[in-house]
Structure 1
């Protein structure tokens, strides 16, 4: 049995409703146990909210960023044998990169903290830089099955899966580190847990922020590579903390 703490599902629409039902099924048959299931959606009439109540499930009506700012407390969130987990939505924005950037701005209010484009290609079959600077990448140049759990034998190619997105992002990060101080990658790697539901530990957020703090303290300024990835797909962002005094110089112009 897989023992988890609190499990947060991002979004209460069609994906969130599917994930909640599958996790409750896994709990009922003894595959997974968790302390609480939280479904977060800004719409009080989202799909999950209109379903019959479940004793172990709560719908939290909130913006995702606002919820994460409250919930991601390093003094509260659990690790170890029963970690708190996050189930991402495939259609959500780069929430964890945004959370780390807000933490960085709180930590260094006198500095410029911003995202910069992940301009260098990763080299995967699908590799696109979005207008907001996030690079979206995939080893798949085919249409993947819905709710694919990314097994060792790829269901699309019917051949062994020889790729791992986390390894590719680590190599990409190392290359960026030869150009300027670069921390990470802070990887939020979604792994299959049960019945088509993937998730990652909430503690990855704190680890990513701590890596940025350590790099800035060592080199004065730094980039942090943030990757929301699975084995096959990913979104890569770059957060930059400028040197002391840069923010005031920008504001003065």
Structure 2
């Protein structure tokens, strides 16, 4: 049985409501325990709000927080890695790169007189599909096909019906290691934990803030930040001068 203190689901709409439903089923069937499941959405009438009103999450400690995602993460993750042991975030496939945005916010607060920004990738990621966005974020995938949202990225790929011989965390860490302009990497791996739900450990996100602080304490630093599953990812370079 998996045990968590707090599971934070990003969004209470199409994706978030499905994840919350799956977490509820996992609890009802004895595969998961959690002190609380917090769904964050700025819409008080989102799908999760309606399902809560209908009693769809009986036996699961689900509650809705009506707040912007970035604002909630700013408060939650500021507690630090020790306080966040046993906490996890369930990201949405279509959310902004919230982990990178949070690290940028923390760096700007720590060093208000330094130039903190997101820079484009210094090299093109070696993945079959990749796109650079106008805001300097970069999106990557090992899939050249459309994957279902509930794929758990098993050892045998459901699309190719062959062994999945790739892993984005390994690939992106190698990119950071081989690129001399990068001083380090903060890679957040969204791992599928139960009933098709992927999670990122919250203490890993908070711990990365400490590592960035150490890397940039005495001079300019470039850190590759990635939020990735085995197959897909969002990347960006946190630059601190």
TM-score by length of 1: 0.89
TM-aligned CA deviation for residue 78 of structure 1: 2.7
Residue of structure 1 equivalent to 2:71: 66
Matched positions, count? 235
Structure 1 alignment gaps of length 5 or more: 243-253
TM-aligned CA deviation for residue 75 of structure 1: 7.0
Structure 2 CA distance, aligned partners of 1:75 and 1:204?
Answer: 7
Deviations 1:138-192 (A, max 9, x none): 111122233100000000000000000001100111122x13x5122x1111111
Structure 1 CA distance, aligned partners of 2:195 and 2:81?
Answer: 31
SS in 2 for 1:40: strand
TM-aligned CA deviation for residue 117 of structure 1: 1.0
4+ residue segments displaced more than 4 Å: none
Higher CA-based Rg = 1
TM-aligned CA deviation for residue 62 of structure 1: 0.2
Say yes or no: does 1:17 pair with 2:17: yes
TM-aligned CA deviation for residue 34 of structure 1: 0.7
Say yes or no: does 1:183 pair with 2:189: no
Residue of structure 2 equivalent to 1:101: 104
SS in 1 for 2:235: strand
Structure 1 CA distance, aligned partners of 2:146 and 2:42?
Answer: 30
Counterparts of 1:208-227 in structure 2, within 5 Å, are: 208-218=208-218, 220-227=219-226
Counterparts of 1:42-121 in structure 2, within 5 Å, are: 42-51=42-51, 52-53=54-55, 54=57, 56-72=61-77, 73-74=79-80, 77-79=83-85, 83-121=86-124
- Contact 1:115/1:133 (8 A) holds in 2: yes
Residue of structure 2 equivalent to 1:171: 174
TM-aligned CA deviation for residue 126 of structure 1: 0.1
- Contact 1:100/1:209 (8 A) holds in 2: yes
Structure 2 CA distance, aligned partners of 1:2 and 1:99?
Answer: 27
> Could you tell which deviates more after superposition, 111-120 or 21-30?
111-120
Residue of structure 2 equivalent to 1:206: 206
Deviations 1:77-130 (A, max 9, x none): 331xxx100000000000010001100011111101111111421111001111
> Could you tell which deviates more after superposition, 40-49 or 53-62?
53-62
1:233–1:12 Cα change, 3 Å: same
Structure 2 CA distance, aligned partners of 1:118 and 1:96?
Answer: 17
Structure 2 alignment gaps of length 5 or more: none
SS in 2 for 1:66: helix
Say yes or no: does 1:230 pair with 2:233: no
TM-aligned CA deviation for residue 74 of structure 1: 1.1
Root-mean-square deviation (CA, aligned residues, Å) is 1.4
TM-aligned CA deviation for residue 217 of structure 1: 2.5
1:76–1:58 Cα change, 3 Å: farther
